[in-house]
Structure 1
Amino acid sequence: MVHKISPELSITYSSLAEIEVVAKQIIDFSGEDKVWIFDGEMGAGKTTIIKAICNQLGVEDVVNSPTYAIVNEYNNGEGESLYHFDFYRLDDQEEAMEIGATEYFYSGDYCFIEWPSKVRDLLPDKLLKIDISITEDNSRLIEVTRYE
């Protein structure tokens, strides 16, 4: 059975100037977890934080939302592959299976997944969940939870 592991990490930031520090905090918290799901409403900043995380992990490629491609692959200077998924346009999980999503998820490589609710049944039990919400003052609240 999947269960939450405590403690959770909670970060609030109000400026994009803080995003690299926030990304580093999430990476430091993540430990060995490589599958990260990002939840938040449209425009909350999922792709923005993924870009900063990729930057902190040494990715030199241009990081863009893979909305139409569904998955983008990036490489860092250490020869690691990182995969960025955007399942927003997916009609059903079958489409994710056709692109081999589960092979990516269980590859041991970083997988950053936007709109994970579209592939909920395909996700591994062990993952990091990053919830992003917009506060009343237009800051972002990020809550990170480890699941095992």
Structure 2
Amino acid sequence: MKKEYNLSQIDEIAEAILAESEHKIIAFHGEMGVGKTTLIKVLAKQLGVNELTSSPTFSIVNEYHAPNDILYHFDCYRIENEEEAYDIGIEDYLYSDAWCFIEWPEHIENLLPEDITKVTIDKINEKLRSIHLKN
């Protein structure tokens, strides 16, 4: 999937990601401020998460509960090496069969399973984004 969208279309983009993703682990690539966290909040809502969601910038991972599933939202920006990821139990999360939405996955690239969905968001201008999903 490759599309351009603006913020008013974010619900539609989230629906497309959930429909087209072949995996429950989704790695979100994109520069700071491109809208990764905003998109993940919409995805969580569409999965049925009723809790207030926020970026796990300092906690590294937030856990949310949907009616029939669990969602883990990772922000790996502050992870400096693989040992830090092991310290938070990253393998337990990744192999739990729960949804795992990972921001800054390049910080833990070697630890990710092969079967993941990669989403890349690029900023075209202040209002327009490009998204590319690859299974």
Q: Distance in 1 between matches of 2:52 and 2:81?
A: 28
Q: Distance in 1 between matches of 2:65 and 2:50?
A: 7
Aligned pair partner of 1:58 in 42, 48, 69: 48
Identical-pair percentage:
43
Q: How many residues align?
A: 135
- Tell me: CA distance 1:137–1:82, structure 2 relative to 1, closer, same or farther (3 Å): closer
- 1:109 — aligned with what? 98
Structure 1 residue runs without a partner (length 5+): 1-8
- Tell me: CA distance 1:44–1:137, structure 2 relative to 1, closer, same or farther (3 Å): closer
Which stretches of structure 1, 4 residues or longer, exceed 2 Å deviation after superposition? Answer: none
- Does residue 88 of the first structure (1) align with residue 80 of the second (2)? no
TM-score normalised by the chain length of structure 2: 0.96
- Does residue 121 of the first structure (1) align with residue 99 of the second (2)? no
CA shift for structure 1 position 30: 1.1
CA shift for structure 1 position 85: 0.3
- Does residue 38 of the first structure (1) align with residue 28 of the second (2)? yes
CA shift for structure 1 position 136: 4.0
- What do residues 58-82 of structure 1 show as CA deviations (whole Å, max 9, x unaligned)? 111111000000000000122x110
TM-score normalised by the chain length of structure 1: 0.88
Q: Distance in 1 between matches of 2:87 and 2:13?
A: 34
Q: Distance in 1 between matches of 2:59 and 2:82?
A: 15
Partner-residue secondary structure (3-state), 1:43: coil
Return the letter of the residue paired with 1:59.
V
Aligned pair partner of 1:13 in 5, 11, 14: 5
- What do residues 32-57 of structure 1 show as CA deviations (whole Å, max 9, x unaligned)? x1110000000000001101111111
- What do residues 15-42 of structure 1 show as CA deviations (whole Å, max 9, x unaligned)? x2211111001101014x1110000000
Over the residues paired in the alignment, what is the CA RMSD in angstroms?
A: 1.0
